[in-house]
Structure formats: C-alpha cells, structure tokens
Amino acid sequence: MLKKVDSSQLKVGMYIHDLSCDWMTHPFVRNRFLLTSEEEIRKIINAGIHDVVIDNDKGLDVQDAPTLAEAQAATEREIVEIATKSPIVTRVSLGEEMQRAVQIRHQASTLVRTVMQDARLGKAVELDQVSPVVENITESILRNPGALVGLLRIKTKDDYTFLHSVSVCTLLVAFCRSRNFEAERTHQAGLGGLLHDTGKALVPDKILNKPGPLTDEEFAIIKRHPKDGYDILLKSPEIGPIPLDITLHHHERRDGSGYPEKLGGDGISELAQMAAIVDVYDAITADRCYHKGMSAAAALRKIYEWSKFHFNPQYAQEFMRCVGIYPVGTMVMLESGRLGVVVEPHETNLLAPKVNVFFNTKQNLYIKPETVDLSRGLGFGGGDKIVGHESPSKWNVDPMRFLSLN
C-alpha cells in the first residue's frame, strides 16, 4: 500500500516509491529505492524534500500515515475550492490567434537559440532583438492566452531547452497580467523569463541532454547556470534589475533549500518567486528522454503541495487560477466516455471549460468534432463533465489537431 509520510518519519528499511519533488531537486539517481542508511535520509531532508510516498508492501510502515489516495483526495478538495474563482478574459477566438501564435513560437525559439550560441562565444545579449519578441508574446497573451500557452505544451527533446525559455516567458507574462502588473514591469519579467536559462549555454551538451539521471558532479555543474546566466547578462549594459534577478534566483526556494544563494522567505523577490513556480511547472509537464512529463492538472497539484514549503502559497494559487486546472491543450476524458481537448477556460469555474470532443472511447472510433461547454446543462451544449486527464500518447493522437474547429 502506498502512503504519504513526512520526511522526519523516515527510517532505514522503508521503501521510497516517490520522492515527491521535481526531477531537478533530488540528489538520487532513481526515484524508487529501499532506504539502507541514515545518510540517505539526511540527503532527502537536506534537499528540501518534506514528504515522500512509501510502499509498505516493500518496506517498513508508518501506521498512522494517510494512504496516498487519502492525501490526494484531501488535496483535490482544496484545489476544487480554489478553482471556482478568478475571471479569465480573451479578446479573440482561439482559432483567430493560433496562426499568429505559431509564428511567434518559431520566432521566439529561434531567438533563444541565437542567444545561447552567442553566449557560448562570449558575446553580449542584444536586448534590442529580444524586446520585440517579448512584446509579440505579450500581445498574443492579451488577445488569447490559451493559443500560445497551449501551443508551447508540445516540445521535443531537440528543441526543449529553447522552447522551455519561450514557455517560461509566456507563462510569466500571463501570470503578471493576471495579477494586474503594470505594462513595463510585465515586459521586464518577460525579458527575465526568456533569458532565465541563458547560463545553460555554458553547460556541456552531454550533461544538458543526458538521457538519464545526473551524477552529483554533473548536478553541481547544472546548478552553476543561474550565476553563469547572470554574469552573461551583465555584459549587456542596458539590462535591467528584474531580468538579472529572475535569472539569478529562479531556483531559490522559500525554505532555503534552493540555489545558488540558498535564500529563503521574502528574501526572494516577488517576481523571482513567480518565475520559480512557472519554471518548475513547465519543466515537469514536458516530456524528456529521461523524464515523462506530467499532465498539466497533475503538475498543478504538485505545485500546490510543494507550495507549503518551496513556493509562496498565495502565488501558487494565483498561478493555478491563471493557467486553469485544465489549461488549453489538455486532453481530457469526459463522463460520457468521449475524449476531448480543452479549448477555452470558463470565466469563473476552472473545472468547466469548453472542450472539443473528437473520439468515443466506448465505441473506439473518431466522431464528428464538436465543442462542448461543460458549464451548460444537457440540451444546451453541455451535460457532461471531466473525469480525468488523458495522455495523448496512450491514444496515439495529436490534441493540437483539435484545438480549433474553425
């Protein structure tokens, strides 16, 4: 049986089923293993991991610990309460914005690739090339945030490093807009998001793209990238304090377990804390050759759980409202047995978006695509509900094909 336990309850002889942290945080080469020493327990605690999942069929038990299902149900109840607030505004339809979003995605990823190549050669970042791209991203978010955000959910291992930076920029701009930040501050945050991983230009490709867990030595090299990126950006005299701060501090955590400076609490700026949430969310939802991405819904649940220690809980909840429990582009299973892709969030209830349905799993066949508004009743274009998210690879479909019906 799987149980969720506090790290302080760990004992030698327990079997770790899940370290309950993002893959770049823990100091182990695997996620599942038998605890054989007190040193392993110390490494877990020192890494800032506050709770883990154990399997008492394979190791020692903690009698009064909740089962994993009970812990997840409690989290679910809290998230449902959060998910019924906060209006989301779009100015144009998803279909109208999608073509522009495709162009912006290509433009931005090409720019990040150039920035990385220049950084390897010791060149300064040319902000007059970066700023217009951030402006284009911001304008797309203002028209319809779901188009670019949904499009950026699809990454390959070859373009991950570049598209991750574009995603962080896009999500951070959307986050700032949802919190009503003024335009210039939002623009500076976008610059920071697009450039936050510039230091990875100095990480050897064999480490950056390693198809497996990192050794302690390799992890130490990876952990240098915030400071390396900060130093690279300092070569651009017109760079502002916000992009520098985000680049240097996006891996800091409120409990002091982050890097490079082990800052804690409000010693981390508001925008750096927001960037940390966005960075982790995008990283854990992406497929990598050594890491299967979580669904957006599962990732938001993790962000919510980790916010007890690593993130500002208020910011985490506001980010959840910003992107939605089922963001645009998420493939979902409906109670009726139909598969669909989320195309538009509801203005106030994030659990009842509009969904383009396209497949009947009970009959195992494609159906004529139609848009279902889950906030409406039966006979009014609704009458269904989401029962869970689905993996596109499981059904061998590309949900992007069904993002727009017009």
Q: What is the DSSP string of 136-170?
A: HHHHHHHH-HHHHHHHTT---TTTHHHHHHHHHHH
- What is the C-alpha separation between 386 and 3, in angstroms, rounded? 26
Q: State the distance between the two ends of the chain, measured CA to CA, in whole angstroms.
A: 48
294 or 307, which is more confident = 307
- What are the φ/ψ torsions at residue 269 (nearest 5 degrees)? -65, 160
210 or 116, which is more confident = 116
Q: Which of helix, strand or coil describes residue 16? A: strand
Supply the DSSP string of 335-401, one letter for each residue: TTSEEEEEEE--SS-TTS-EEEEEEETTTTEEEEEEEEETTSPTTTT----EEEE--HHHHT--GGG
pLDDT of residue 126: 94
DSSP state for residue 6 in the 8-state scheme:
E
State the chain's mean pLDDT as an integer.
88
pLDDT of residue 81: 75
pLDDT of residue 181: 97
What does the pLDDT look like over 307-334, one tens digit per residue?
Answer: 989 999 999 999 988 888 888 888 999 9
Supply the DSSP string of 177-242, one letter for each residue: HHTT--HHHHHHHHHHHHHTTGGGGGS-HHHHT-SSPPPHHHHHHHTTHHHHHHHHHTTSTT--HH
Quote the radius of gyration of the chain (alpha carbons, Å).
21
What does the pLDDT look like over 255-291, one tens digit per residue?
Answer: 999 999 999 999 999 999 999 999 999 999 887 766 6
pLDDT of residue 292: 75
pTM: 0.86
pLDDT of residue 262: 95
pLDDT of residue 80: 72
pLDDT of residue 244: 98
- What is the C-alpha separation between 36 and 11, in angstroms, rounded? 9
- What is the C-alpha separation between 401 and 356, in angstroms, rounded? 10
Percent of the chain with pLDDT over 90: 54
pLDDT of residue 361: 92
Tokens 């911001």 -> residue? 138
Mean pLDDT of 235-253: 97
H/E element holding 55? strand 51-55
Beta carbons of 141 and 190 less than 8 angstroms apart: no
Percent of the chain with pLDDT over 70: 93
What does the pLDDT look like over 25-75, one tens digit per residue?
Answer: 666 667 788 999 998 888 888 878 888 899 999 999 998 888 888 888 888
Beta carbons of 259 and 229 less than 8 angstroms apart: no
24 or 44, which is more confident = 44
Mean pLDDT of 285-307: 83
pLDDT of residue 381: 59
What does the pLDDT look like over 326-377, one tens digit per residue?
Answer: 888 889 999 999 999 998 887 777 788 899 999 999 998 999 999 999 988 7
300 or 77, which is more confident = 300
pLDDT of residue 401: 82
Query: Considering only 35-44, 123-132, 152-161, which range has the smallest mean pLDDT?
Result: 152-161
Band of residue 209 on the pLDDT scale cut at 50, 70, 90: confident
